[in-house]
Structure 1
């Protein structure tokens, strides 16, 4: 396509106009060579400036265009000029878009191109001020590396300058003579300053793709030059429209690239934070380094908030130096200032972002800081770091390095970064709190271990302790009562382990250490105490002794240890109570709360030095025995019993029970644990009745705690309903105990005595409910029962008459405890109304209530034959036939 008329066609037009059509082109050339003034006159009068400019450019490029007759007027020539240069204009604009990163400088360069395209003598670029209620003249820097400036040029309103007028209307204005236009009394607002008199003005609003006004372009032509015309307006409008769309697209692409860069940046920040979370100073330093890089700031400060004292404080400062390309932060004496002062204080109070483009124009800025440091603050971006709705820190960026001030994009990016800052600071603070708590925990555990681990004297004494010979036979009985052998309970357990698993199954020293430490870790609660643990272990031992060949050595070891530890550190409260009142244990274990805690305590003791009784096992065997212990202890949760027994009953009724099946075997072990845990209902009636007192002492203590906070406990836990105890026991036996021992006896017939004893005790409770017998076990204060201690002080004959129900005293016997004072021979004789002491009689078994002459004779199966148990080598032991 030809851009315009050729030189030959121009010559022909000159020939037609001045010399006629008969002359040839060569003759015209010769004439113009001899008469150049004619050519000058013709060009001045008939050729447009656009055509002349195009001729000049073609002349400079080395070739003149071919002839064409497509244009005959100056207006059409101007349009052809516009078309011919649009491609170059687009190329220039595109190059500018690719090279500039700052939007203001980019627009300035685009306006320079438009100025050339419209042959303007000059231009001014205005940007919208803060809140879009004013305009600011943009001045690029004179120095090579200096920042551009924005000079306030007035509010957005009518009746001042043409720029503020266009900012108000957002409409393009073409004014051929601005000096005579009353709408703009101040003209362009620059004439008096520059000394240049502007004649014609073309003023255009620069809008974004979504219609937001961001700037105003003001094109000037001076006096003596032609005013702007509509063609110039079309070129400028088209250029700005295209430039606006292009800028928008470029900004979108840059935004995506920036977002990708920001995401990578934040991932790197997160990695750095959590790799270096140990040192809070290192963490704060990384926050400030990344913050500076993110918004391209010169300086950075980070203040933490002390809400207790309403202060901001910091001891790490940016000194403006670099080491190997990284900013240097210096740790100095901590500075503190009130949260009521300064820009950082306002951000800490309000939690709002402050972006201040001109610090000295803001009254909140403290200029004394600059005077003291010698540093000049131009602009500030101050951002809160918020965690859980509370400001925990403030990051203050000072002086934007690229651009005149911090942008909205900087704010948005930094808001996202602030979330990571908050997370990192929160995690760091939590980490240090945990470390502090861990130190406290270690000190506490050290103190606790001192009091909860047995002493060397205790376990060494146990290694040398032997049981009385007759006692070995009584241990084999289901209804064996350990009440009066408290000092021998650890030895009883060691004997049961050795007799069931073999004396070489455990190292004696470790077994004694473990047993004595377990004893120390049982609390002094009425029922779930050390005595209960030994009772349960004895019941399991008796079952294992009568079911030889069924359980493996690993299972027997695990079951005996599980029974001894199944209530370790029991607090005397039920799982329901702990869960209802959000006890820390309930937070740790959502189901079977206390049972899981008991297992955890067991493992903790096993992990103590010198306490790992399973150290001689292989790793596989160790895992197996721990699994047995865990399942067994969890099975003591009575809430799991009902479903387990039902499944076993169905397997038994259908003949599908297979002890080689691991699931069936686990169910059997679970039932055995429940049977052992409830074994108090299978003892002789006096022991069973007294144990019920201990159980209800715990129940009522829990009920009392519930009453304190206004909750009515269930009748079983209400001490005001103690008269309902016998009826409650009848219901418990029928619903829980009898089905348990019935199923167990079907599984293992040798366990039948447990079922029989349970039925007999149920009969006793029913008699009380039916009024056939008086409930002699009820005590006024309903305190835990204390077993009769055979080591009690002998009766003083000077005392009140002896109760006929009391234990008879053998006058020939030596005092059990050497600390007990002997009987005073000078004392008065025993009351003749008291039951006489038979010097030939053996001491009464303290487990059996004394014979009351008003009741039926004592069960002939019970044979009182027990000497003082405090001396392990003394006297015969009671044996049940």
Structure 2
């Protein structure tokens, strides 16, 4: 039963009523033996606390009941005085039945009174003869009207050891001294009270922190509002009169703030004034020391501390008595300092205040960190938008370029040669965009795309290929041509949507290629590798394709409904990802097994995806099927990229694989033969089994 622990939360019971009830309780238990006293006390205190009461009066009443239960002749209740270094005797009624009062009783020290001794040691004392004990020359330090002989004095502590009060029970001469059973009853009751208080306070604190969390993340977009809420909650948590919050500028080694507690309230809430930002060195003052060390400072007497700057009080007329200064730490770094000034409901800030605020500070740190991260993200987003705007301007074709494309016609010889696998696009560089437009129209129909959008899209794709030796615009058109030739020779197998998607996928399959392999990007933690952990460049190529489609006037699939649009994007995505050669080997093995077993089914979507994946690999490698001179020149371009990557690795002391080491040029022929035998020939062999009209590719490769 912990309910009576709520004596810490005053509701306003008048002191006269408290005393009347206490007297009635004392009379009720005059003849009660020790058995069941604790249970009865709890029952009574639960009823009393349900009616509300003053903090100290309710504790006084509890002590009065303990006095009766232990058959003491009298008792005294002491609370801490100013700065927590002295004791004050509590009296339930002041002069002329006035309000309760605290009468200074003396410092907390050894060699004075038994209460001061217990306050110093925080340990219970049971003394049979107070007058004969040399430790307490001042005895009980008061004239209670009785000749005190035996004293039972115990500290009333919180669960974490904070001293709340001292209870001093007296027995006069001629009475039997207190014994251990009396001590047990007293300790049980006071510990029960403080433990219950601790649980109740913990529940209250948990509710408080939950409320804090909700408020913080509702206001995380506005840093000023967030700081204001932190200050309000900090004041409420430790019952402080004023609060200041400083953020830390580690670059300039300064503390700064522009939000100040002016000590006013509006509609029951503190008012904070936003003024010109003030800054001061992190090497100065109490807040500066907390920011430097990350340690809590609890100063019970500000004017006795040399670190305190009295000039602020002189200028403002405000008197600072005590200070609790706490760091707000995020990821091991102090990011802020909260300074609470003047405890309202006590002489100084307590250890409980420190512990509660340490929990609160975790939420503060999280909120401030998230708020700062949010603002950095917002700032980065603005930079990103500006960068993308600039990039879009430089990566989009001009109106003259796409309008010119609409007027281009292909030379007569192309119309026949373009249907052949061996067709070489090299001599027609100026009209490569027109070659692609022709292939799209011839394969899918002239009305399959809006001509203006198709021209814009094609010219912008050309602009987004980098000038690298191999993975460039020429390679893109070459791959697209190979796919066109396959589609022309496999009429009726692929849907119109698939033909559109595959031609676009081939044209875009190496968009924005940097000339480096996926392994290189992953090894050196390139940002693209962080975005895409597998098939890094292939996923980037697809992302760039979608980005161009989203540009104004570039969405060549805008005439499709939503379902068709999703389907064609998925076709393009799968096709581009399939160009990752690391995926080829498993795909080829699975297809070979299906062909061998006779289980290949073109109506099975999974089988169909594997076939398209093989087609993309065949088209990507099609330079090995051209005339010898073209193949040799293309190989030179490929190795130019390989060796450039190897050179970068050597710069940082890493040894590249043989294929990428220009010092091992002599191994190129052997490497190429190995590539043909292990990759190219098996690929085209399987493709010829799937589509016999594609057999010229296999023949040319061999």
- The structural deviation recorded for 1:481 is 0.6
1:723-756: CA deviation from partner (whole Å, max 9, x where unpaired): 1111100000000000000000000000011001
For the pair 1:431 / 2:374, whether they are aligned, the reply is yes
- Aligned partner of 2:686 in structure 1 is 743
1:244 aligns with 2:187: yes
Checking the alignment, whether the CA contact within 8 Å between 1:204 and 1:216 is kept in structure 2 is no
Does the residue aligned with 1:230 lie in a helix, a strand or coil? coil
2:124 is equivalent to residue 173 of structure 1: no
Distance 1:652 1:182, change over 3 A: closer
Q: Distance between the aligned counterparts of 1:248 and 1:420, measured in 2?
A: 31
Distance 1:497 1:149, change over 3 A: farther
Once the two structures are TM-superposed, the CA of residue 602 in structure 1 deviates from its matched residue by 0.1
Query: In the alignment, does 2:90 pair up with 1:136?
Result: no
1:203 to 132, 135, 151: 151
Residues of 1 paired with 2:161 and 2:660: CA distance? 74
Tell me how large the CA RMSD over aligned residues is: 3.3
Structure 1 residues 206 and 551: alpha-carbon distance in aligned structure 2, compared to 1, 3 A threshold: same
Identify which range, 627-636 or 259-268, moves more after superposition. 259-268
Structure 1 counterpart of 2:503: 560
CA–CA separation in structure 2 for the residues paired with 1:84 and 1:572:
89
Q: Distance in 2 between matches of 1:135 and 1:554?
A: 88
Task: Summarize the alignment of residues 250-261 of structure 1 with structure 2, pairs less than 5 Å apart.
Answer: 250-261=193-204
Partner SS, residue 318 of structure 2: coil
Closer/same/farther in 2, CA of residues 182 and 477 from structure 1, 3 Å limit: closer
CA contact (8 A) 1:139 1:151 kept: no
Number of the residue aligned with 1:602: 545
Change beyond 3 A, Cα 1:303–1:621: same
Q: Say whether 1:473 aligns with 2:427.
A: no
* Contact 1:203–1:216 (CA under 8 A) maintained in structure 2: no
The answer to whether 1:716 aligns with 2:621 is no
Residue 82 of structure 2 contacts residue 348 of structure 2 at CA under 8 Å; is this kept in 1?
Answer: no
User: Given the alignment of the two structures, is residue 420 of structure 1 paired with residue 368 of structure 2, yes or no?
Assistant: no
1:526 maps to which of 456, 469, 474: 469
Structure 1 counterpart of 2:277, from 315, 334, 339: 334
The answer as to whether partners of 1:115 and 1:123 remain within 8 angstroms in 2 is no
SS in 2 for 1:470: helix
For the structure 1 residues 459 and 213, does the alpha-carbon distance in structure 2 shift closer, same or farther, using more than 3 Å as the test? closer
Alpha-carbon distance between aligned partners in 2 of 1:184 and 1:448, rounded to the nearest angstrom = 85
Q: Distance in 1 between matches of 2:690 and 2:249?
A: 68
Cα separation, 1, equivalents of 2:639 and 2:625: 17
Greater fraction of residues in helix: 2
Separation in 2, partners of 1:228, 1:598: 100
1:110 maps to 62
* 1:376–1:190 distance in 2 versus 1, CA, 3 Å: farther
Q: Quick one: which of 310, 317, 338 aligns to 1:395?
A: 338
8 Å contact 1:148–1:404 — kept in the other structure? no
**Cα 1:228–1:436, aligned 2, differ >3 Å: closer, same or farther?**
farther
Aligned equivalent of 2:318, options 375, 385, 398: 375
The structural deviation recorded for 1:121 is 6.4
Relative to the length of structure 1, the TM-score reads: 0.71
- Contact 2:72–2:169 (Cα < 8 Å) also in 1: no
Deviation at 1:115, TM superposition (A): 5.8
**Cα 1:103–1:408, aligned 2, differ >3 Å: closer, same or farther?**
farther
Kept in 2: contact 1:201–1:219 (CA 8 A): no
Structure of greater Rg: 1
Alignment of 1:484-503 (within 5 A): 484-503=427-446
User: Which position in structure 2 is the counterpart of 1:406?
Assistant: 349
Following superposition, the deviation at residue 267 of structure 1 comes to 2.7
Contact 1:136/1:154 (<8 A) preserved: yes
Matches of 1:360 and 1:140 in 2, distance apart?
A: 30
**Measured at CA, do residues 200 and 743 of structure 1 come closer, stay the same or move farther in structure 2, by a change above 3 Å?**
same
SS at match of 1:172: strand
Asked if 1:217 is matched to 2:160, the reply is no
Q: Residues 506-554 of structure 1: CA distance to partner in whole angstroms, max 9, x if unpaired?
A: 0000000000000000000000000000000000000000000000000
**Does the Cα contact within 8 Å between 2:83 and 2:348 map onto a contact in 1?**
no
3-state DSSP of counterpart to 2:167: strand
1:153 equivalent to 2:97? Answer no
What is the deviation of 1:354?
2.1
Q: Distance in 2 between matches of 1:673 and 1:584?
A: 27
Find 2:176's aligned residue among 203, 224, 230.
230
For residues 146 and 404 of structure 1, do their structure 2 counterparts lie closer, same or farther at Cα, with a shift above 3 Å needed? Answer: farther
Distance in structure 2 (CA, Å) of the matches to 1:329 and 1:199: 57
Task: Describe the superposition over 1:736-789 as per-residue Cα deviations: whole angstroms up to 9, x where unpaired.
Answer: 000000000000000011001100xxxxxxxxxxxxxxxxxxxxxxxxxxxxxx
The equivalent of 2:237 in structure 1 is 294
What residue number does 1:781 align with? none
Question: 1:871 is matched with which residue?
Answer: none
1:817-856 map, 5 Å? none
Instruction: Indicate if the aligned counterparts of 2:79 and 2:89 stay in contact, CA closer than 8 A.
Output: yes
Aligned residues: 668
**Aligned-pair distance for 1:202?**
3.8
- Structure 2 distance, partners of 1:629, 1:442, is 26
Alpha-carbon spacing, 1:697–1:453, altered in 2? closer, same or farther (3 Å): same
Q: Specify the alignment match of 1:683 in structure 2.
A: 626
Number of the residue aligned with 2:527: 584
**Cα deviation, residue 326, structure 1:** 1.8
Cα contact 2:80–2:347 (8 A) shared by 1: no
Decide whether aligned partners of structure 1 residues 204 and 96 sit closer, same or farther in structure 2, where only a CA change above 3 A counts. farther
- 1:383 is displaced (CA, Å) by 1.5
Query: What is the alpha-carbon distance in structure 2 between the residues aligned to residue 281 and residue 623 of structure 1?
Result: 44
CA distance in 1, matches of 2:336, 2:176: 58
CA distance in 2, matches of 1:154, 1:206: 14
Pairwise CA distance, 1:415: 1.4
Cα distance change, pair 83–719 in 1 and its aligned pair in 2 (3 A): closer
User: Counterparts of 1:463 and 1:652 in 2: how far apart (Å)?
Assistant: 44
Which residue is equivalent to 2:614? 671
Query: What's the secondary structure of 2:273's corresponding residue?
Result: strand
CA contact 1:575–1:592 (8 Å) conserved in 2 = yes
CA distance in 2, matches of 1:484, 1:140: 108
Q: Secondary structure at the residue paired with 1:366?
A: coil
**2:410 touches 2:435 (CA, 8 Å); kept in 1?**
yes
Q: Alpha-carbon deviation of 1:460?
A: 0.2
CA distance in 1, matches of 2:36, 2:536: 85
Q: 1:726 to 1:146 in 2, by over 3 A?
A: farther
Q: Post-superposition shift, 1:244?
A: 3.4
Superposition map of 1:558-707 within 5 A: 558-707=501-650
Contact (CA 8 Å) 1:351, 1:386: kept in 2 or not?
yes
CA 1:102 to 1:206, structure 2 compared with 1: closer, same or farther past 3 Å?
farther
Q: Which residue of 2 aligns with 1:163?
A: 115
Structure 2 regions of 5+ residues with no counterpart?
Answer: 1-22
Give the unaligned 5+ runs of structure 1: 1-59, 62-77, 760-881
Q: CA deviation at 1:626?
A: 0.2
Q: Answer whether contact 1:199 1:220 (CA < 8 A) is retained.
A: no
| C-alpha deviation, 1:301, in angstroms | 1.1
User: What's 1:32 paired with?
Assistant: none
Match of 2:78 in 1: 125
- Does the CA contact (< 8 Å) of 1:161 and 1:184 recur in 2? yes
Q: In 2 relative to 1, CA 84–581 (structure 1 residues): closer, same or farther, beyond 3 Å?
A: closer
Give 1:93 deviation, angstroms. Answer: 5.8
The offset of 1:471, in angstroms, is 1.2
Q: Does 1:539 align with 2:482?
A: yes
Query: Could you state the TM-score of these two structures normalised by the residue count of structure 2?
Result: 0.88
Give me the whole-angstrom Cα distance separating, in 2, the residues matched to 1:182 and 1:258: 40
Cα distance between partner residues in 2 of 1:727 and 1:695: 15
**Contact 1:277-1:428 at 8 Å conserved across structures:** yes
Local SS of the residue matching 2:412: coil
Shift of 1:322: 1.7
Following superposition, the deviation at residue 420 of structure 1 comes to 1.2
2:293 matched to 1:350?
yes
Which residue in the other structure is 1:362 paired with?
305
